[in-house]
């Protein structure tokens, strides 16, 4: 999570250089406080700002003079949608950018705990059709009857390029991560690829391999698609920054086996 937070902070600094108005702000959405605290540690002049009674924690501060709201949105698509929408509506103006930051599980064996994924797009994994034959087909999110389905939502190309440059700059300074194989700790690796998003916890290895093979996802988590839809609705560019916290494809003695 520290690596993902460092990349998010670097992207925010870059955004500040492009926008000088005090009215601009950035929304950083994290599922839980264990993720959000790493971003909060990068803030200056931080304070907790109540959102709405039913929403989660919001901490406001600055990075390079740009206002950053770190919202702990809760786990899953519903809570993430509520909290992000509330933050955008209450501000009275759309955010300059929306960053979905937090933990994920690997869909590829070469992604190991401690690695970082910069999401090129987010794929709603649960949006599929089970036909009468029993065959399952991913069709994407259908926002309306007359509207075409959305098989994925892309990240902002400009933000993604910026994040790649920022990650290359900060990754060498991050502490090495135990690889779980009894070998020496290894440097953090940064990957770029599709992020799967679903309220389903996937531990079955054949299903993980199927998702990667059919949808091209490199990891999965539970909030990014909802966060992206809110950002899209408010006209804000979106970026996904995920760290690999676990892998069913790579058993590590440093992580509990559920």
Pairing of strands 136-138, 128-130: antiparallel
Strand ranges in the chain using DSSP code E only, listed in sequence order: 25-30, 44-48, 58-63, 66-72, 97-106, 116-124, 128-130, 136-138, 153-154, 190-197, 217-221, 238-246
Residue 67 lies in a domain: yes
For residue 182, pLDDT beyond 80: no
Which letter does DSSP use for residue 150 in this model? B
When pLDDT is cut at 50, 70 and 90, the band that residue 158 belongs to is very high
pLDDT (0 to 100) of residue 184 = 74
Highest mean pLDDT among 49-58, 186-195, 211-220, 241-250: 211-220
Specify if 29 maps to a domain. yes
Q: Is 258 among the domain residues?
A: no
Q: What is the pLDDT of residues 47-86, one digit of tens each?
A: 999 887 666 799 999 988 889 999 999 999 999 999 999 9
What is the spatial distance between Cα 214 and Cα 225, in angstroms, rounded to a whole number?
18
In a domain, 256, yes or no: no
pLDDT of 99-129, one tens digit each?
A: 999 999 999 999 998 899 999 999 999 999 9
Indicate which CATH number applies to the domain containing 238. Answer: 3.40.50.1580
In this predicted structure, what is the pLDDT of residue 176?
A: 82
Query: How many domains does the chain divide into?
Result: 1
CA–CA dist 10, 24 (Å, integer): 17
The CA distance from 32 to 73, in Å, is 7
Q: Is residue 89 included in any domain, yes or no?
A: yes
Beta carbons of 153 and 226 less than 8 angstroms apart: no
CA–CA separation, 39 and 194 (whole Å): 23
- Region 185-211 average pLDDT: 94
Residue 185 reports pLDDT greater than 90: no
Q: Considering the domain boundaries, does residue 32 fall inside one?
A: yes
**Whole-number Cα distances in Å, 191 to 14, 65, 85, 195:** 20, 29, 29, 11
What domain range is 193 assigned to? 2-246
pLDDT of residue 257: 46
Residue 251 located in a structural domain: no
Exposure on the CB side of residue 5, measured as CA atoms within 13 A: 18
Joined together, the tokens standing for residue 22 give 């005090």
For residues 208 and 223, give the distance between their C-alpha atoms in angstroms, rounded to a whole number.
18
Residue 81 inside a domain? The answer is yes
């Amino acid at each position: 999570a520290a690596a993902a937070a460092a990349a998010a902070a670097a992207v925010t600094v870059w955004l500040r250089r492009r926008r000088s108005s005090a009215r601009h702000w950035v929304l950083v959405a994290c599922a839980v406080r264990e993720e959000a605290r790493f971003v909060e540690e990068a803030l200056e002049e931080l304070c907790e700002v109540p959102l709405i009674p039913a929403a989660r924690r919001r901490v406001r501060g600055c990075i390079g003079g740009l206002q950053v709201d770190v919202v702990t949105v809760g786990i899953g698509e519903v809570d993430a949608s509520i909290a992000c929408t509330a933050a955008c509506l209450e501000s009275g103006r759309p955010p300059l950018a929306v960053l979905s930051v937090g933990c994920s599980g690997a869909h590829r064996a070469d992604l190991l705990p401690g690695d970082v994924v910069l999401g090129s797009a987010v794929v709603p994994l649960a949006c599929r059709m089970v036909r009468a034959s029993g065959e399952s087909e991913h069709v994407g999110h259908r926002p309306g009857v007359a509207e075409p389905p959305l098989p994925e939502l892309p990240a902002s190309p400009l933000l993604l390029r910026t994040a790649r440059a920022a990650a290359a700059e900060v990754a060498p300074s991050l502490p090495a991560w135990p690889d779980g194989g009894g070998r020496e700790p290894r440097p953090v690796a940064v990957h770029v690829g599709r992020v799967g998003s679903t309220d389903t916890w996937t531990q079955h290895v054949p299903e993980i391999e199927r998702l990667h093979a059919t949808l091209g996802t490199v990891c999965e988590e539970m909030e990014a698609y909802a966060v992206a839809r809110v950002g899209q609705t408010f006209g804000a560019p979106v970026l996904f920054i995920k760290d690999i916290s676990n892998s069913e494809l790579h058993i590590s003695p440093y992580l509990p086996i559920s």
